Amino acid sequence: MITVKNFTETDLEFKELARIDNLVNHDSINHPDDDKNDWKIRDKSLIRDRLLLYNNDILIGVLYYSQGRDENKRTCFYTLHLDPAYNNNGYRKLLYNKMLGRVKFFNCNQLHTTIYDHPNYIQHEKLLNKEKFNLVQTNREYSCDIRKIDFTKYKNLINNLESKGIKFLDSKNEMLDLPNHYQKLEELCWVYGQDIPMPKGIKREREPFDKFLKNQANYEKNYYAVEIIAVKNNKYLASTDLEYYPKAEPYKAWTGSLGVIKKFRRMGIATALKIIAFQKLIEKGIYEVRTDNEINNPMYKINESLGFKPVPFSLDYLKEI
């Protein structure tokens, strides 16, 4: 018997959700402890939940959904995963329809989801097309074995930047005692983030500072691969942060963000940030790095020059309701 049940936060549910996710994930591995941790620190001022699809007592699918913040407060962001053995039975549509009923609680007026240009997502893509979603952004996805980078090629670049008074510091290990470190870091990321393309119809969100601190502490405690900040005369100019999941994929890091404030662009700072960060990753035994860019974002040229290779693109879809 097919039933949709509410999420009750049990250990078994977290374990089974990871199993379903990993049947769909094409290039990553989920661990239940990471999901449990993410759920624990979620922002409870926003609606966030899961719909669980069972065949008798066996979990066969899940739809994760959450409410956006501020200007996105009427937007529902969702992810839908189904055991491929149950394709072509209308179960994605069943979960989708259940979600439509739930999101009325925050007066939802648009839906957003991300899939990949990969066979594992073809059935979901068919549903999106049938429901008349619009493709609103295409993102280049890249992977690199950073052990193959010739780091000596970039010594002159880094030396030149340092000769101009620009220092490259490790946020967690070298900067925590600096005055107003986290305030400066949050402001820096917000400022350069304004120039990072967003899917059409989605506004960039700025979380409250206390939420930023909570998430930063979680990152530094559990998922910190490296975060490098470029500083000149105590002014924060640029940064990059990478996270990793030691219980799931201890050898792989994922780029969270990378940006430079406008006045200091086109000086090679972004490249220097990557090189310094990658060297520290190798010291930690991390040798694969994943990153992504909106398809027209020129950052992809830097990635390709470093040896990043394309993997299946990610696709952002949106529908007004």
- Pair 150, 106 in one domain: no
- What is the pLDDT averaged over residues 100-128? 97
Say how many Å lie between the first and final Cα of the chain, rounded: 31
pLDDT at 187: 98
pLDDT at 85: 97
> How big is the chain, counted in residues?
321
Q: Which residues pair with 137 in a beta bridge?
A: 316
300 pLDDT above the threshold of 90: no
Q: How far is CA 264 from the centre of its chain?
A: 26
pLDDT band at 298 (very low <50, low <70, confident <90, very high): confident
Are the beta carbons of 86 and 118 closer than 8 angstroms?
A: no
Q: How far is CA 91 from the centre of its chain?
A: 27
pLDDT at 114: 98
- Pair 191, 89 in one domain: no
Distance CA 214, CA 206 (A): 14
Strands of 160-223 (E only): list them. 167-170
Q: Nearest to residue 131, comparing CAs of 99, 96, 98, 101?
A: 96
Helices 122-130 and 91-102 pack at an angle, to 10 degrees, of 50
- Pair 187, 271 in one domain: yes
- What is the pLDDT averaged over residues 14-18? 98
Q: Nearest to residue 248, comparing CAs of 36, 63, 10, 9?
A: 36
Q: How far is CA 186 from the centre of its chain?
A: 17
Residue 105 included in any domain = yes
Please indicate whether residue 311 or residue 302 has the higher confidence score (pLDDT).
Answer: 311
Cβ neighbours, 10 Å, residue 228: 25
- Pair 155, 294 in one domain: yes
Domains of the chain: total: 2
- Pair 224, 78 in one domain: no
Q: Nearest to residue 153, comparing CAs of 291, 279, 290, 254?
A: 279
- What is the pLDDT averaged over residues 240-261? 97
pLDDT at 299: 81
pLDDT band at 297 (very low <50, low <70, confident <90, very high): confident
Instruction: Specify the CATH number for the domain of residue 155.
Output: 3.40.630.30
200 pLDDT above the threshold of 90: yes
Residue span of the structural domain in which 286 resides: 142-311
Tokens of 166: 């620009």
Distance CA 245, CA 252 (A): 8
